[in-house]
Structure formats: structure tokens, C-alpha cells
Structure 1
Amino acid sequence: MSDGGIPGVRPTEHGAAPAQRVAEGGGQVKSAVRTVELLEFFAGRPGMHSLAAVQEAVGYPKSSLYMLLRTLVELGWVETDATGTRYGIGVRALLVGTSYIDGDEVVAAARPTLDRLSDDTTETIHLARLDGTSVVYLATRQSQHYLRPFTRVGRRLPAHSTSLGKALLATHSDEQVRKMLPETLARLTEHTTTDREKLIEELALIREQGYAVDREENTVGLRCFGVAIPYRTPARDAISCSVPVARLTPAHEQSIKDALFDARDRLTLATRHL
């Protein structure tokens, strides 16, 4: 458990969970905080988990944890396996997540732009939002080069390892970034920048050129280009285009950048009232 946190509450894989950040403000209802923390635990760790594994992760007393889990199972927020001894995220969490995306004005305004960007590049397109030190994927357009379905919608990744995240971090000042990120950053691949000051140097270049690049820092073999949507300052949403390194030629890279700039301008106009 990190120093300074509330007892029994641990950060998620990619930084402090929203429930932990809220709880640190004080004046919160303990049972509500614990409920949200449990749901965030399951959301960040797919699959089924034993009571002992959950208890070790969140640190709650086993008896109260068991009663809370049983309540969430009865309400459909948590599911159990055939033995009734392992737990995972329930279908009601999906319904709430879907309603968030369906009701988001930026996602709705972005749909035509994402469709056109997908047609212009023929590559995988993402729309994501900055949440703390991570980005959460809100919409995806599949690459026209693959038949295998793939989506990151709802997935959470560290901002420092993605073009989307770096484009968004670049809209903050260096001092704001230093407050947001630890000195040593998580390594996802051998190419991930793990030094905060080195990342800050890269953010200066991103501000100058207007786009960010993920050079296999999140997934080996994949390069991504991202731009922030400046309908607010600092920006909270960005779009990206991902392409396998093996298929990336200088001409294709330039066409992707041009298409992203065009999409950014169109989406900026579409969200100017938000």
C-alpha cells in the first residue's frame, strides 16, 4: 500500500483509483468507498478471483468483505463461478459503462470524424480521455487490414506509454506533469520511457510539432500517432491512429499525420459548444 493512502485501499495497476483519490478528501461514507474500490479492483483485473486474493489486494476484514461481495452478487454488480468461491465483475457494470459512452456528447460528436479518419487511413483509430495518470478508451474504429475483431473501449492504459496520453499530457505545464506523475514510470515494453524528466523533454517537442508518437512503448510492433482535441484547456480527449511498424512507410506516416490534423480540426469545430 502506498504511503499517505487510506488504510486498506490500494492503487490500481496504473495509478491511484478514483475512489482512493475521493476518499483521501475526507468526509466520505466508508461502505460506499469500499464498494467502489471493489468494483474498480475487478474492473482492473479481468477474470475470477478468490476471496483470499481479493482480501489481500484491498485489505478489508474478511468477514465484512464477504458480506459486501455477497450483496454485490445479489445486485448483479459482481458474479461468482460455479463453486461460489471466486468473484469477478458483473454485467451491471457493463450496462453502466455503456450508458456513459452512449450519453457522452464528445463521443457522439466524434463519430463522423472517426469514421472518416478510419476511411482515410485504413488503420485502427481510437478516441480516449485522460483520467488521472491514465487514458480510458471511449471509441474505436477497426483497421481495414484485419478480420479479427479488436477493441479497447473501456480499457485503461498509462498516459505516458501511449500517443493519446502523451498528446494530452503535453497540454499541461511541466510543473503540472511533475505533480501528476511519479519520477519513475511503469515500463510496459523495452521501449517505454520510464524517466519522468525525459518524458517532459518529449512533451516539449510534442507541443511544438502538434502530435505525439508511441514508438512501440505500449505494444511491441505497433506505432501510434495521437493528437489532442483542444475544445478545452488543458485538453481531456485525444484521437490516435495505430499502425504495425512493418507496414509503416514514410509516405504512409505522413498521410496519417495529415489525416489526424484534419480530424483534429473537424472535431474541434464539432465540440466547440461543449
Structure 2
Amino acid sequence: MAQSSPLPRPGAADAGGAQVKSAVRTVELLEYFAGRPGMHSLAEVQEAVGYPKSSLYMLLRTLVELGWVETESTGTRYGIGVRALLVGTSYIDGDEVVAAAKATLDRLADDTTETIHLARLDGADVIYLATRQSQHYLRPFTRVGRRLPAHSTSLGKALLATYTDEEVRKLLPARLEPLTEHSHTDVEALIEDLHAIRERGYSVDAEENTVGLRCFGIAIPYRNPARDAVSCSVPVARLTPGREQMIRDALFDARDRLTLATRHL
């Protein structure tokens, strides 16, 4: 979905000269396409980014030639190119936390038989770095590289709970966009939730991201505030009190293992 207002731009970069400005625009275009799957017309892209149409067209053509942007047979619609996939894959392949967490994620998936995620906080969002799919037929699907609002996921709330209340207020807008009817929409209500998370040591996404799905998250404390977290997602229909306790215990065990695995980072 194209947004109606121009994308935010770092002001310091614009002051640096034409080459820096061009680089900023290139990155903003790639982020635009990365966040909006499918193909988009020049008019859609121009409305979202706010660049002059002629310079936008030339930049798009350059990115098409380099493989970072793709276009269909008419040459009038544009989407993210295969080069972006190669760069994204290299990030995952070279990440030390992803490598250190592999054995623990495998064990957690085997112990719970549910879907397991590893994600990283990026601004007000979380980005998924690794996934282990559920062994059950009914399974939620989240792809590696997906970005979701931190306030509506167990992963994000586990990470936000490692920040102070004031830091959370600065990081998030006062009005939070809901993904379901259960999502937080007020940052102060979210902060109350974060207080409870700090006390019990884990977070709960009570159908705040996907209706019918309950998720439990826990931060990996190799940094403070934490940067990465792991979660377990379970369909509500399959969640009993006993199973919930088992999942919480498995997450605490995984946190201890990940703390040891990442102690050198």
C-alpha cells in the first residue's frame, strides 16, 4: 500500500551534497519497495516519496539496470529486485546471533512443537531473523525479513520492556496503529503492560498481531537494553494452561542457553 505523504528523510544527509542526497534517495526507494510487495506505478512511487518525477524516473531506470529494482514487460511498473534478496541473505548468513542461536532454536522447536521466531528491534519495529515452523498442520507463517510493529508482538514487547518508560515514549508514537482489535493503541497502556512483563520476565501477545494466535516472547540479555528476542507462537485452540506453562518453562530455558551462546558478543 502506497502512503500518501513523503517518506521521512534524515536531514543531516540532505545537507551533505548531491552525492549523499542521491544515496539517501536510493535507500529510501529500496525501503519503499521492500515494505510494499508487488509492482507499483511511477505515479504511486512519486506520491509516496515526493521526488521530482523526472529524477525519480532516471533513478528507477538506473536501479533496474543494476538489478535492485525490477519492472514488468511494459516498463511502467516497478518492484524490488533480486539484488536486494542477495544482500538480505548475506546479512542473515553473517549475523553472529543467528549463528549462535541455531541449536537453541532447533531445541525449542522440538520441545514445544510450535512455531519459533528470532527477531531484532529496529526502531519501533521488529524484524524476523530466523524461524522454525510448527510441527502441526495448523501453523502461523512469518517469513524471515518480515517487519512488524513492536507494540503488537510478543517479541517487540519483550524487547521494549528492557527500555525505560521514557525511552519507550520517545521511540513510539502516542497513538499506536492496531493490527487487531486486541492490539494496544495507547502508549501509556502499553507501558503498563511492559511493567508486568518486567516483573514476570516474559511477554504475551494475546491475539494482538493475529486473531486466534497467542505468542510468548523473551529477550536475550547479551545487551542492555536488549536487541534480540525469541518467541513461541501457539493457536489459541491448542493452548491449555498446562501447555502454556510448558512453553514458558521452555522459553526460560532457551533464554539461559542463548545467554551462554551469546556471551562473547
- Structure 2 CA distance, aligned partners of 1:107 and 1:115? 12
Could you tell me how far 1:148 is from its partner in structure 2? 7.3
- Structure 1 CA distance, aligned partners of 2:260 and 2:12? 36
TM-score (norm 2): 0.94
**C-alpha root-mean-square deviation of aligned residues, in Å?**
1.3
- 1:14: which partner in 2? none
Name the % identity. Answer: 82
- 2:145: which partner in 1? 154
Q: What residue identity is the alignment partner of 1:10?
A: L
- 1:110: which partner in 2? 101
Could you tell me how far 1:200 is from its partner in structure 2? 0.3
Q: What residue identity is the alignment partner of 1:212?
A: S
Task: Please state if 1:247 is matched with 2:234.
Answer: no
Whether the aligned pair in 2 keeps the contact of 1:9 and 1:37 (CA below 8 Å) is no
- Structure 2 CA distance, aligned partners of 1:95 and 1:156? 18
Whether the aligned pair in 1 keeps the contact of 2:152 and 2:205 (CA below 8 Å) is yes
Alignment of 1:88-237 (within 5 A): 88-146=79-137, 150-237=141-228
- 2:11: which partner in 1? 24
- 1:53: which partner in 2? 44
Residue among 59, 76, 96 paired with 2:67? 76
Q: What residue identity is the alignment partner of 2:176?
A: L
Whether the aligned pair in 1 keeps the contact of 2:133 and 2:139 (CA below 8 Å) is no
Q: What residue identity is the alignment partner of 1:24?
A: G
- 1:10: which partner in 2? 7
- Structure 2 CA distance, aligned partners of 1:75 and 1:9? 25
Give the match's secondary structure for 1:192.
Answer: coil
- Structure 1 CA distance, aligned partners of 2:139 and 2:254? 26
The unaligned stretches of length 5 or more in structure 1 are 1-7, 12-19
- State how many pairs are aligned: 257
Report runs of 4+ in structure 1 exceeding 3 Å deviation: 25-28, 147-151
Q: What residue identity is the alignment partner of 1:57?
A: A
- 1:266: which partner in 2? 257
Give the match's secondary structure for 2:12.
Answer: coil
Whether the aligned pair in 1 keeps the contact of 2:115 and 2:140 (CA below 8 Å) is no
Could you tell me how far 1:24 is from its partner in structure 2? 2.8
- 1:3: which partner in 2? none
- 1:44: which partner in 2? 35
Could you tell me how far 1:149 is from its partner in structure 2? 9.1
